[in-house]
Structure 1
Amino acid sequence: MAKFVTIVCAIFVSVYLAEPTLQFLSDERIKYINEVAKTWKAERYFPANTSEEYFIGLLGSRGYKNYTNEVEIKKYDPLYVENNSPKQFDSRENWKSCKQIGHIRDQGNCGSCWSFSTTGAFADRLCVSTGGKFNQLLSPEELAFCCMDCGKGCGGGYPIKAWKYFRTQGVTTGGDYDTKEGCMPYKVPPCYDEQGKNTCGGKPMERNHQCPKTCYGKTTVQDRYKTKNEYVINSIETIEQDLMTYGPVEASFDVYDDFSVYKSGIYRKTPKAKYEGGHSIKIIGWGEENGTPYWLAVNSWSKFWGDHGTFKIIKGRNECGIERAVTAGIPSTSRGPQHLHDDINNNIQ
């Protein structure tokens, strides 16, 4: 009898270890999360048979835990009279002419989140600094596969190095997959079709592309847009001040497996959640819900994930390191908040 019990236990353990996906995205796991999460709701997005390796592959932010004194740390300016931060701030509402701020993109089967968050924040800031005269998407395709110093394309990259690339090399325009918009549209196919069906399950990660040398979209002129600096922000007040002045910012944070099933509410890591990797997103505002403060952020996992592609994460306690290493840069067209209507056609170099 003891031998039989031992064999049964061995079989159970081997099955458990061989099929981690059943634990990772099982109905039981989602039910448990909804029982213990007090401020947010979980719902299936990735198919139940999605491997943990696939999910980890989407988390491509590198180096955000090790910013050094070599990087400018932007400090809070107590003399900035407009920093009486409101309880609620949404860049989409504050700069309504900048339609791309709330645009949800899909990085596909590629760990290029870092290129979406940084080009996204930079494009938003260009729109803000020009009073809406620049209203396009910048190219994560170019950044991911042309900036050799930034990282390894689909294998992840360094957000602060992306901002340095914007300053030294500039970046061109580029719309979503199969749109032909801009100079260099994204070439990695999305993982979800228009019906919300996953098309990447079981497929290997996209291989890195060759750096495009010329435009292949509708725009034939490769205009390059630059920043005049890059910096790290690591305090709540400074994040708010910078965001209200110049526009959305990039933020990297530690992702745990429960984040994969986020649907709505204010995310907080649940007990027993397993660390998976670093992810990069775009913070576009903040607010308060039922007395709980939050950051409002845009993800790059399609409009079907989360709250129509966005999520909220608790603010003020550095949840998952979200407030530890925010990055940004000021467009070279902008001379500060009092000059938000610089002409976008006035020699942007």
Structure 2
Amino acid sequence: MKSLTVTCLLVTVSAVFAKLHPLSDEFIDEINAKESTWKAGRNFEIGDYDLVKTIASGSLGIGDREPLTFTIHDESEDVPESFDSREAWPECADVIGLIRDQSRCGGCWALSAAEVMSDRICIHSNATKKLMVSSQDVLTCTSDFGCSGGNVDAPYKQWNSTGYVTGGLYNNSLQGCKSYFLPECDEHPTKCTDYVDAPSCVQQCDDTSLNYSQQYTYGLKHTWFSNEKQIQLELVKNGPVGSGIVVYEDFISYKSGIYQYVSGDFAGSHVIKIIGWGVENDVKYWIVANSWNERWGENGYFRIKRGNNECGIEHTAIAALPDFSRF
């Protein structure tokens, strides 16, 4: 009887401490039971966890750490309590507010950079140049990173040196030279269950009547921003910035609210785009565009706690200005 009691106790303890699957209903319930500043819900099925980890792991960090030079804004300058780039530059709201879908590819690093570049071309041309930088060109023609991930700074360095051509969403030649090679996951995850790699770099427009060499855009040298106030000032002055975040398992099931880590293990390193900030119920937050389609989170966006470097979002933000003298 004693042996049976010990066995039962061990089984009970094991059950209590068994790790919940990060995409299970039980794990989602555990997140919501903590009554944090955000709500979780189902975004992916349990069988898609390997794919989810892939699309959440597109950041390989910073490629060139020496020297890391940061733009220093005068932090004595005031910033508003809230700010949204879509409202600050309404003539560019359709460009800034576009949510791209990386689909079955770990190409967040490329999509984030292409978004920031496109936003800033519109903003700094006073909306006279609404050119979308091709995330496909960034993805396939920046070193050999592709869907397995890339360095956060690599696209900005190449935008400055050799440039990127225009291009937009899947199968849309009206948005420029090179369209993204994967369709959106309209029925995610049922039609997006297999990870793919990026195709090779092709120096030709989808519409062969377009002159490829005339589709290039270029940027000035990129700069880094390493704290809340610097990022805020950069947003107000120049527009959206890219940044990396650490993804934990609870983030995958984010539905609404102001995200902060509450539960789960490390799942990957991801690259996103910060477009603004605000305050809700005395909780400060960033407004962030993700690249997991508009059906994820708050219509493709999420808000994340601001001012405490939540998940590393304020550690090394990055951006560059367009160099109009070259296109």
TM-score (structure 2 length as normaliser): 0.90
**3-state secondary structure, aligned to 1:264:** strand
Distance 2:14 2:134 in 1: 47
Deviation at 1:176, TM superposition (A): 0.7
Do 2:48 and 2:189's aligned partners in 1 also have CA atoms closer than 8 Å? no
Distance 1:243 1:62 in 2: 24
- Equivalent residue number for residue 220 of structure 1: 210
Distance 1:163 1:125 in 2: 13
- Equivalent residue number for residue 130 of structure 1: 125
Q: How does 1:111-130 map to 2 (within 5 A)?
A: 111-130=106-125
Deviation at 1:32, TM superposition (A): 0.9
Q: CA-atom RMSD, angstroms?
A: 2.5
Distance 1:301 1:3, change over 3 A: same
Distance 1:238 1:47, change over 3 A: same
Distance 1:103 1:163 in 2: 20
Deviation at 1:72, TM superposition (A): 2.0
Distance 1:47 1:102 in 2: 27
**3-state secondary structure, aligned to 1:24:** coil
**3-state secondary structure, aligned to 2:164:** coil
Do 2:250 and 2:264's aligned partners in 1 also have CA atoms closer than 8 Å? yes
Distance 1:329 1:27, change over 3 A: same
Distance 1:27 1:327, change over 3 A: same
Q: Which moved further from structure 2: 113-122 or 237-246? A: 237-246
**3-state secondary structure, aligned to 1:50:** helix
TM-score (structure 1 length as normaliser): 0.85
Q: Identity of paired residues, percent?
A: 34
Gaps of 5+ in 1: 334-346
Letter of the 2:82 counterpart = Q
Q: Which moved further from structure 2: 221-230 or 296-305? A: 221-230
**3-state secondary structure, aligned to 2:217:** coil
Distance 1:234 1:318 in 2: 10
Query: Which of 62, 74, 77 is the equivalent residue of 1:77?
Result: 74
Residue 60 in 1 paired to residue 58 in 2?
yes
Count of aligned pairs between the two proteins? 319
Distance 1:37 1:182, change over 3 A: farther
Q: How does 1:253-272 map to 2 (within 5 A)?
A: 253-270=245-262, 272=263
**3-state secondary structure, aligned to 2:235:** helix
**3-state secondary structure, aligned to 1:23:** coil
Residue 34 in 1 paired to residue 32 in 2?
yes
Deviation at 1:190, TM superposition (A): 2.6
Do 2:75 and 2:230's aligned partners in 1 also have CA atoms closer than 8 Å? no
Deviation at 1:208, TM superposition (A): 2.2
Distance 1:109 1:307 in 2: 20
Distance 2:151 2:74 in 1: 27
Gaps of 5+ in 2: none
Alpha-carbon deviations, 1:176-220, whole Å to 9, x = none? 112223100000233334xx663122x2x2122010111014871
**3-state secondary structure, aligned to 2:267:** strand
